[in-house]
């Protein structure tokens, strides 16, 4: 398992999933345009080795496919992701075991947690070069300008580490940072994120919030930062659980925080509550330029450390497919067992990439009583913080393939009476980047019950579903070659042909 960015790059190259670009390229729009085209076609990761105005190479699109994300997590297929989700579900809300096997499974997970405890590296490579105060110049980092209307260059895959000022439990998140000048950046984040809670607490205590940003880390740590965790559980522990052994951390030089010891770059600084600057416009995950924010928190960096000859790892947001959409597909599989534990009637769920991987969710349930679909939708919205901003929830029966858009549309059109089966929840906290809402940060949610109705949901007798005769279907399968049709690729109707994961 690669334990740093360089190991992952070597792994991708060995699998034929990396291209080294030696032609000179510009960080202003050109690199992003090349990467856009690779993302659209599911192409390889890219390492630009000749970046204009910088001695440092730029890595992008390393996690541009689900396969590459599973490799980063020391797994071979997406099926392994759900197995990991089952392990995490035991920790997310452990219940007293009722059977010996349950106790054994929980014991194995707890032992894995012991092995996953992070340790400190006394001579971390991320501090081979140390720059402080006036030596700090963020322009040395080859940040990208992605879209022509962007206000400035951005860091998109930096891990921002903060600590709760009271409990000292760290939070690791991935937020967009926009360059302001040689030692300051503004941060774009949502109000439900861990770092925002820490800043509010620091403000109440009259303190500045210490911040570290680690860039170019083992991708497994990025996935851990994106995993839904209980508020008082560390992402470092989960990263170790993913990888099978503890993450190596390093104490920062000037702030009381720890960062991955093998990071390529580390920025250390503080946010003073109330100190803000103008942020944006910038291209965002909704597929539009985000609005200008007059009061974005300002981060002042007073120390920068990095490895010798560091590699700058980046990505960018926008209309899917993008790297964050591929990460969301992988996380969808990990979320599933956790969600089933929170809402037992949910059999499966799917966050379509085309819905930005969180704006719409499709749930399947084993329906056994009237009103259950509505209950499942309401429970989904409150199950995990990640689902707070899900705009649409469609609930279908367990026999519907939720990853096949044709099957879902059929269920909606054949089982839904809008007056009875569509319900709307107005005035919910919402994604401020969603322009569809009338007021910024406040919007509505829609639930659609596309399940088969039962009394008293309807007084009508529901017709039987149309299915092939089993004996005839088996006979046709046996005689398929005899018909002279064995050269026909029947998988053309598979949902994968439409870009969906099965």
d(CA 209, CA 268): 11
Helix (H) or strand (E) holding 372: helix 372-383
Compute how many other C-beta atoms are within 10 angstroms of the C-beta atom of residue 196: 18
Q: Which of 194, 121, 113 is nearest to 385 (CA)?
A: 194
Both tokens of residue 77?
A: 């297929």
Beta carbons of 395 and 379 less than 8 angstroms apart = no
What per-residue string of b and e applies to 59-78 under the rule 16 or more CB within 10 Å gives b?
Answer: bbbbbbbbbbbbbbbebeeb
Question: Cis peptide leading into 321, omega within 30 of 0?
Answer: yes
Helix (H) or strand (E) holding 86: helix 78-92
Active site residues per annotation: 284
Strands 176-181 and 154-155: antiparallel
d(CA 41, CA 21): 18
d(CA 377, CA 391): 11
Instruction: Give CB contacts under 8 A, 24+ apart, made by 90-97.
Output: 91/233, 91/241, 92/228, 92/229, 92/230, 92/338, 92/341, 93/230, 93/341, 93/342
- Taking CA atoms, 118 is separated from 221, 305, 463, in Å, by 12, 21, 58
- Taking CA atoms, 43 is separated from 14, 69, 156, 301, 502, in Å, by 15, 14, 20, 36, 20
d(CA 386, CA 227): 9
Report the residue count for the chain. 502
d(CA 388, CA 428): 9
Query: For the chain, how far is it from start to end, CA to CA, in angstroms?
Result: 26
């Amino acid at each position: 398992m690669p334990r740093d960015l360089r190991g992952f790059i070597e792994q991708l190259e060995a699998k034929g999933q990396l291209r080294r670009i030696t032609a000179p390229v510009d960080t202003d729009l050109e690199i992003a345009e090349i990467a856009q085209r690779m993302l659209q076609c599911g192409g390889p990761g890219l390492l630009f080795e000749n970046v204009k105005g910088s001695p440092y190479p730029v890595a992008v699109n390393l996690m541009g496919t689900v396969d590459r994300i599973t490799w980063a997590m020391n797994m071979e297929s997406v099926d392994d992701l759900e197995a990991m989700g089952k392990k995490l579900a035991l920790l997310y809300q452990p219940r007293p075991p009722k059977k010996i096997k349950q106790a054994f499974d929980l014991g194995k997970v707890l032992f894995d947690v012991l092995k996953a405890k992070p340790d400190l590296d006394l001579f971390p490579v991320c501090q081979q070069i140390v720059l402080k105060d006036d030596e700090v110049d963020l322009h040395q980092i080859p940040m990208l300008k992605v879209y022509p209307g962007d206000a400035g260059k951005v860091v998109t895959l930096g891990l921002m580490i903060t600590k709760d000022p009271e409990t000292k439990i760290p939070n690791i998140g991935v937020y967009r940072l926009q360059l302001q000048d040689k030692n300051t950046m503004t941060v774009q984040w949502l109000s439900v994120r861990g770092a925002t809670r820490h800043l509010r607490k620091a403000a109440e205590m009259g303190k500045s919030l210490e911040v570290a940003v680690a860039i170019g880390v083992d991708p497994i740590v990025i996935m851990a930062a994106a995993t839904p965790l209980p508020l008082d559980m560390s992402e470092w522990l989960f990263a170790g659980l993913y990888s099978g052994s503890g993450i190596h951390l390093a104490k920062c030089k000037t702030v009381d925080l720890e960062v991955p010891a093998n990071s390529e770059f580390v920025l250390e600084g503080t946010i003073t509550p109330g100190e803000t600057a103008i942020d944006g416009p910038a291209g965002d995950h909704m597929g539009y330029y985000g609005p200008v924010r007059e009061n974005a928190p300002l981060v002042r960096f007073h120390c920068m450390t990095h490895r010798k000859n560091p590699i700058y790892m980046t990505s960018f947001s926008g209309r899917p497919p993008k790297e964050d959409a591929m990460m969301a597909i992988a996380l969808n599989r990990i979320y599933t067992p956790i969600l089933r534990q929170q809402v037992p009637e949910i059999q499966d769920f799917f966050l379509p990439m085309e819905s930005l991987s969180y704006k719409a969710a499709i749930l399947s349930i084993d329906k056994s009583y009237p009103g259950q679909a509505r209950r499942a939708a309401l429970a989904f919205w409150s199950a995990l913080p990640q689902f707070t901003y899900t705009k649409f929830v469609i609930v279908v029966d367990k026999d519907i393939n939720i990853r096949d858009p044709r099957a879902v549309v059929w269920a909606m059109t054949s089982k839904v009476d809008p007056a009875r089966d569509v319900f709307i929840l107005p005035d919910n906290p919402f994604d401020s980047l969603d322009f569809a809402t009338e007021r910024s940060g406040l919007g509505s949610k829609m639930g659609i019950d596309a399940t088969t109705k039962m009394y008293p949901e309807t007084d009508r007798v529901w017709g039987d579903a149309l299915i092939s005769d089993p004996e005839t279907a088996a006979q046709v399968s046996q005689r398929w070659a005899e018909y002279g049709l064995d050269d026909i690729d029947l998988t053309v109707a598979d949902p994968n042909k439409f870009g969906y994961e099965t």
